[in-house]
Chains A and B, each alone.
Chain A
């Protein structure tokens, strides 16, 4: 440390303190600004038809995004059903079966890499394994892409949450003669329930707002998702297509869809955080 005069040191301290409040306000201001614009521009699109009807051809007023809302719900649900069980069991493997073994270390490292892989790369990967060979885009491919995004997040939170469960609980379960799988599923999962539910909710909420993995997998569609074996309408790709279109009616619908998706994601996130805070001790 270079010796400095008292005045210099005080000046540096004051400069940082002065910079702090505006910096912190930037964080709040950007959030408030985004939310304000999304609400102000999106709320006008909310009519009963917006939620229940099919889109109209370009330039024609009216219609809605009912198919996209349903498609997003279906694919997100399916992705959660595919990704969550695998993620939970993989988390069990990392936390319960030799956590410092070489294979667990390798899996943990790979999980971090997968979490850091851009979601558009996941989309391209699923395109090349589920779209190219079958010759058509499909809702299944979209759901698989989203499930691949859910998997590493659920794995990580499961491992963290199971590690918080005291070993005495495992030992007492085993001492009663219960087999390992019953101790894990019946006692440890129950003890860590709140944290696990929160982790899954946060992962699913995050994934429901993803666009890039759906661009080349589910694509989009103007029809109701009759079967997941065909291109499936979804909100995020619809936002992308409509926002880039020259029709003001479509742009308004894009804002409406933006509001709907932002509100759902934020509400689930806030609820999940409340659950943590509420039962923090047990999580």
Chain B
């Protein structure tokens, strides 16, 4: 359909001579604007590589594996930041994925439409709350709850695991992971809900017709039908959690140390950048921070590209099924 329009447009633009020039200008202008995104992405990559060159020349590959971060001695390694980024994101995803899917199923399959609208609206508003507000709330309100109730409870019952040992400080990797979970929850829930709503009723009715329970219908029919969208939603949430800065910076404690305990202070790539970028006076310090930014940029690019091709592959496989 689009192609036919384009053909008609070509006819229309070619015929009267006085119209073809403004149209060509318009088309090139639009194309130039579209290319701006490519220029920006290439520019980000180029600038990060250029500015991090000094750090990579100095430390080589060990920049990624070393956990020493000592601005005074001029030694820098990204390991603790990478570790903290992956662990806090991991905690967030372990909690947010099942919770979001259950909430979405509830909204679509079980809840009364009015209740569903109310909760759905709340979830959408939650997604709109700026991340620095999560940081304020996390530091002044949620960390206190963690310190007085959640962390003592965990160490009393699961204290045998090294994960839950150490003094309850309120802030730390676990708190950051939980707040990230609250932040990505609305994103995954909203998309999963939309995906579940698009499942054709006939499919669900057939499942109910052969005697399936609600959960069986959802699990074997709806979630399967919408898995492409849900995988996409999960990756979207994952990407947001990886790069989230303010919410994490407030509550993670900002320490460049790898510790087995989730109660201890840690850092993420984004939180290190937020805290230290303006203080970096030595060129090698600044260059190491640019290198850290390049690592984060690389991680998000790789995961997004994987997501893109995975979703495209699922689409192809589904097309093959039919």
Please list the residues of chain A having a beta carbon within 8 angstroms of any beta carbon in chain B: 1, 9-10, 12-13, 16-17, 19-21, 23-24, 26-28, 30-34, 37-38, 41, 85-87, 89-90, 92-94, 96-100, 103-104, 106-107, 109-114, 116-122, 124-125, 127-129, 148, 151-152, 155, 167, 170-171, 174-175, 177-181, 184, 205-206, 209-212, 215-216, 219, 236, 239-240, 243, 251, 254-255, 258, 261-262, 265-266, 269-270, 273
Contact = CB atoms under 8 A, between A and B. Distances in A.
A116 B236 contact: yes
A270 B127 CA distance: 12
Contacts of A215: 274, 277-278
B133 to A, nearest CB: 5
B130 A113 contact: no
B26 A116 contact: no
Contacts of B99: 23, 26
Interface of B: 1-2, 4-6, 8-9, 12-13, 16, 19, 22-23, 25-27, 29-31, 33-38, 40-41, 43-44, 47-48, 50-51, 99, 102-103, 105-107, 110-111, 118-119, 122-126, 128-137, 139-141, 182, 185-186, 189, 213-216, 220, 236, 239-240, 242-246, 249-250, 270, 273-274, 277-278, 289-290, 293, 296-297, 300-301, 304-305, 308
A77 to B, nearest CB: 17
Nearest to B186: A27
9 contacts: A24-B111, A37-B137, A92-B30, A96-B30, A109-B308, A152-B37, A167-B1, A181-B26, A211-B246
Contacts of B106: 20-21, 23-24
Contacts of B139: 243
B2 A19 contact: no
A33 B35 CA distance: 43
Contact of B34 (A16, A24, A94, A269): A94
B47 A181 contact: no
A10 B212 CA distance: 10
Given A20-B103, A118-B300, A181-B22, 10 more contacts: A27-B123, A27-B189, A34-B126, A110-B38, A116-B239, A118-B242, A151-B37, A211-B246, A240-B132, A261-B132
Contacts of A236: 130, 132, 246
Q: Looking at chain B's contact residues, is the secondary structure mostly helix, strand, loop, or mixed?
A: helix
B181 to A, nearest CB: 10
B232 to A, nearest CB: 10
B243 A120 contact: yes
Given A205-B128, A240-B246, A261-B130, A177 B16 contact: yes
A120 B23 contact: no
Nearest to B277: A216
A118 to B, nearest CB: 2
